[in-house]
Amino acid sequence: MARRPLWLWPNLLSLDAPIVALVWFWMYKQVWLVKYHQPTLPWFLALAVWCIYVGDRLMDERLAGRDGGRPTARHGFHRQHRGSLKLALAMGIFGALFLLAIQSRGLHIHGLPILLPVLAYFVVSFSDGGRNVSFFKNILAGVAFAYGVAVGVHFRRERPFWDLALSPEVVVFAGLCIINMIAIDHWESSSRGKNEKEEPGEQEREHREVYRALLLGLLLVLIVASYLLAVRAEDYTLQTHKAFYLSIIVGAGGLGFLVLLRDLFSSDLLRVLADVAMVLPLPFFYFYLVDYEIIEFGHFSWNLTAPGQLDGG
């Protein structure tokens, strides 16, 4: 078996999604001026996301095994270490439940609706063969991820759940997540069962062009919407909202780069770079806030004394 490159290991170990979740969790804290939460909340978020992704990948590996063909590196890894990953998943679920139990009861109630898209996703995944792109499944996954990341921060704003459901910050992030997942699903499904070193046939090239146009169109809509929201956010007391919307544009631009140049990369490398595109907004967001003196350089939280009075949302 060929030695796996170091850059692939975060994806193989399902560490990519928790990292992305924590990045955007921190960004939501800055946008919504939430400084205090239970110290175990980020740990619970990361562990819960990890468990969901490992469970999904174990199920995905089993479904992919029915179809035959050349598995992706992720499928091969989960097939090879299925027993160890099942044990790790059981321990992870136990740890996540423990961390959930020590969160506030109000957060339990506030976050309960997030279970609906998560459960619906697993139902759809189990009934789906997993060979072709499932738009409905990716929409469910993107919505569950975006709202799951934001709900713990939003709870500290002491606003109703409907405020979270209609929050522009969460809606555009959900859009970015959905497009990211559709792109990854397309890249992996189009390479499954094929030798990537061979030139794609005419039908495959046409298929890729259709998805390239679709993904670029969706990204363009997201970029325009985020730009308009950023322009509107200039009237807010602080520039955190504007920085957030511009960060969405940065992430969308990174995905657009991958969509345009997908033929230069393998499906495994595309999968990793898609995650890089999701964390690419972090340095832009951070230095934007530093430039506006909302965060001091070297610090990782805003330094305002009356956050409740300056919430621009």
Residue-wise pLDDT tens digits, 3-31: 789 999 999 999 999 999 999 999 999 99
pLDDT at 306 over 70: no
Residue-wise pLDDT tens digits, 217-239: 999 999 999 999 999 998 776 78
Q: How confident is the model at residue 312 (pLDDT cuts 50, 70, 90)?
A: very low
pLDDT at 304 over 70: no
* b/e burial code for range 26-61 (CB count within 10 A of at least 16 → b): bbbbbbbbbeebeeebbebbbbbbbbbbbbbbbebb
Query: Which DSSP letter does residue 198 get?
Result: S
Residue-wise pLDDT tens digits, 34-52: 988 889 999 999 999 999 9
CA-to-CA distance for 163 and 197, rounded, in angstroms? Answer: 49
The type of residue at 120 is A
Give the phi and the psi of residue 122 in degrees, each rounded to 5.
-70, -35
Quick one: pLDDT at residue 32? Answer: 92
Q: How confident is the model at residue 310 (pLDDT cuts 50, 70, 90)?
A: very low
In 3-state terms the chain splits into helix, strand, coil percentages (rounded to 5) of 75, 0, 25
Quick one: pLDDT at residue 207? Answer: 82
Place of tokens 């993107």: 142
Residue-wise pLDDT tens digits, 151-204: 999 998 888 888 999 999 999 999 999 999 999 999 988 765 555 556 666 777
CA-to-CA distance for 101 and 79, rounded, in angstroms? Answer: 32
Q: What is the 3-state secondary structure (H, E, C) of 86-106?
A: HHHHHHHHHHHHHHHHCCCHH
Quick one: pLDDT at residue 61? Answer: 74
CA-to-CA distance for 303 and 306, rounded, in angstroms? Answer: 9
Residue-wise pLDDT tens digits, 60-95: 777 665 555 456 788 789 889 999 999 999 999 999
Quick one: pLDDT at residue 238? Answer: 75
Q: How confident is the model at residue 307 (pLDDT cuts 50, 70, 90)?
A: very low
Tell me which of 69-73, 240-244, 274-278 is least confident. 69-73
Please, what is the average pLDDT of the chain? 88
Quick one: pLDDT at residue 197? Answer: 59
pLDDT at 305 over 70: no
Place of tokens 């850059």: 7
Q: What is the arithmetic mean of pLDDT over 253-280? A: 95
Query: Which DSSP letter does residue 200 get?
Result: P
Q: What is the arithmetic mean of pLDDT over 239-253? A: 96
Quick one: pLDDT at residue 64? Answer: 60
